[in-house]
Homo-oligomer: A and B are copies of this chain.
C-alpha cells in the first residue's frame, strides 16, 4: 500500500545517500589545522539549532571556499554526523544533461521527500553547477535558480525540522544572483596556508620518510602556502610515482610551479 511504498522510497534513498556521503570523503577528513576545527564547531552549533524544536523549522548553511578546499567532503562529514535520520544528497553529478525542468523536479522532489520526515538533512553540492553557471555570457539556469531561491527560504510544514547544507566555490556568483542572502549561515572553507598545515597532511599520508618530512619542513618554513586539500592529495599521489631520490625536490618545485608555494626570494 501507499504508506509501505513511501517508506520503501525513503529507505533506499537514504541508503544510496549514505554511500554517496562516504565517497565524498574517500580520503577521510584530516585535521590539518585550526580552520578545520573552527568550521566543525560552527557546523555543530548550527546542527543543534536545526534540531531544536523551539527554533524555526529551517536552518540552511553554505560552505563556500576555493576549488579543491574540501567543501564537499566537509558537507558530507557534517551531514553524516548530524544525527539526522533522513539524509539526502542533491548533486549535479546525478543530473548531467538534465533539462532545466528535470533538474528542478529532482531538486524539488528531494525537498518534498524531506518534508515528509520529522527531521531531515539535505546536502546540496556545488550550487554553481546545479544552476548551470557558465562564466562566459554569463549564463545560468534561471528556472533552477528560482527554485533554489524559493526552496532555501521555504518553511517546512509545521512540526518538521530541516537542515540544508550547500557547497559552492563561487561566492561572488551566489552574491550576484542573491542566492547567498537566503542562508541562515555562511561558513568559509579555506585552503591550507602555512607550512605546518602542509606537514600535518604529509604526515598522515605514508609517502615521505621522516627525514624527507624534516627536509620539507625546513624548506617551506616561513613561506606562504596556498593549496586546497584535494589538490595537495593529488600532488602527493604524483610524488608517490616519482623516484625516491628526486621526490622531495620535484614535489616542492611542482608546488612552486603551480603557485601553491611562495618562491624563495
B155 contacts A67, C-beta separation under 8 Å: no
Q: Which residues of chain B have C-beta atoms less than 8 A from A92's C-beta?
A: 146, 150
Cβ contacts A82-117/B at 8 Å (1 or 0 each)? 000000000011001101010011011000000000
CB of A199 closer than 8 Å to a CB of B:
no
Interface presence of A154 (CB below 8 A): yes
**Chain B positions within 8 Å of A27 at CB level:** 56
Given contacts A135-B176, A150-B92, contact A241 B45 (CB under 8 A): yes
Supposing A134-B145, A139-B142, A241-B49 touch, asked if A96 and B104 sit within 8 A by C-beta, the answer is yes
Whole-angstrom CA separation of A146 from B126 in the bound complex: 12
User: A252 an interface residue at 8 Å Cβ cutoff?
Assistant: no
Contact call A132/B146, Cβ cutoff below 8 A = yes
Chain B residue numbers with a CB within 8 Å of A99 are 101
Q: Does A12 contact B (CB under 8 A)?
A: no
Residues 176-193 of A, flagged 1 when their CB comes within 8 A of B and 0 if not, give 111001001000000000
- Measured in the bound complex, the distance between the Cα atoms of B234 and A23 in whole Å is 33
- B178–A149 touching, CB < 8 Å: no
**One of B93, B108, B154 near A97 (C-beta < 8 A):** B108
| C-alpha gap A26/B157 in the complex (Å) | 10
1/0 per position for A151-194, CB-CB distance to B under 8 A? Answer: 10011011000000000000000001110010010000000000
A253 at interface by CB-CB < 8 Å: no
Within 8 A of B (CB), among A48-73: 48-49, 52, 54-56, 67
Given A96-B150, A147-B97, A158-B23, check contact A138 B136 (CB 8 Å): yes
Name A219-264 residues within 8 Å CB distance of B. 233-234, 237-238, 240-242
Who on chain B is nearest to A103 by CB?
B97
- 27 A-B pairs, CB-CB below 8 angstroms? A26-B56, A45-B238, A45-B241, A48-B241, A52-B237, A55-B234, A55-B237, A55-B241, A56-B233, A92-B146, A92-B150, A93-B150, A93-B154, A96-B104, A96-B108, A96-B146, A96-B150, A97-B105, A97-B147, A129-B146, A132-B143, A132-B146, A134-B146, A134-B177, A135-B177, A135-B178, A139-B142
